[in-house]
Amino acid sequence: MSQQPAPKTAPAPEEAVPSDGEPEAPHLDFQGTTPYEDYVRASVLTHLQHPLSDDPGEMVFLVTTQVMELWFTVIVHEWHTAAQALREDDVPTALEALRRSTYELESLNASWKPLAHLTPGQFNAYRSALGDGSGFQSAMYRRLEFLLGEKSASMLVPHRGAPREYAELEKALTEPSLYDEVLRFLARRGHAVPAAVLDRDPARRYEPDPAVERVWQEIYSGPREGELIRLGEALTEVAELVWRWRNDHLVATRRAMGAKTGTGGSAGVAWLEKRATKNVFPELWTARSHV
- Residue numbers belonging to the annotated binding site for substrate: 127, 263
Is 247 among the residues that bind ligand HEM (CB under 6 A)? no
Is 135 a binding residue for ligand HEM by CB under 6 A? The answer is yes
Q: Which residues inside 97-116 make contact with ligand HEM, applying CB under 6 A? A: 115
Which amino acid is it at 43?
S
Is 262 a binder of ligand HEM (CB under 6 A)? yes
212 vs 233: CA distance, rounded Å: 16
Residue with smaller CB distance to ligand HEM, 116 or 192:
116
How many CA atoms, within 13 angstroms, populate the side-chain half-sphere of residue 22? 4
Of 218-226, 236-244, 258-266, 282-290, which segment contacts ligand HEM by CB under 6 A?
Answer: 258-266
CB closer to ligand HEM out of 198 and 251: 251
Nearest to 66, CA basis, from 58, 78, 77? 58
**C-beta of 121: minimal distance to ligand HEM in Å?**
13
How far CA 46 is from CA of 57, 64, 155, 274, in Å, comes to: 17, 13, 30, 36
Please give the Cα distance from 200 to 210 (Å, whole number). Answer: 15
Q: Indicate whether 243 belongs to the interface with ligand HEM (CB under 6 A).
A: no
263 touching ligand HEM, by CB under 6 A? yes
The footprint of ligand HEM on this chain (CB under 6 A) covers a number of residues equal to 25
Site string for ligand HEM, 12-51 (x = CB under 6 A): ----------------------------------------
Measured CA angle at 262 (ends 261, 267), to 5 deg: 50
CB of 149 to ligand HEM, least distance (A): 14
Distance set, CA 246 to CA 91, 138, 253, 286 (Å): 28, 14, 10, 20
Q: State yes or no: residue 53 binds ligand HEM (CB under 6 A).
A: no
How far CA 60 is from CA of 111, 113, 232, in Å, comes to 10, 11, 36
Among 54, 80, 116, 110, smallest CA distance to 254 is for: 116
**Could you say which DSSP state residue 54 is in?**
S
Sites of contact with ligand HEM (CB under 6 A): 64-65, 68-69, 115, 118, 134-136, 138, 141, 249, 252-253, 256-257, 262-266, 268, 271-272, 275
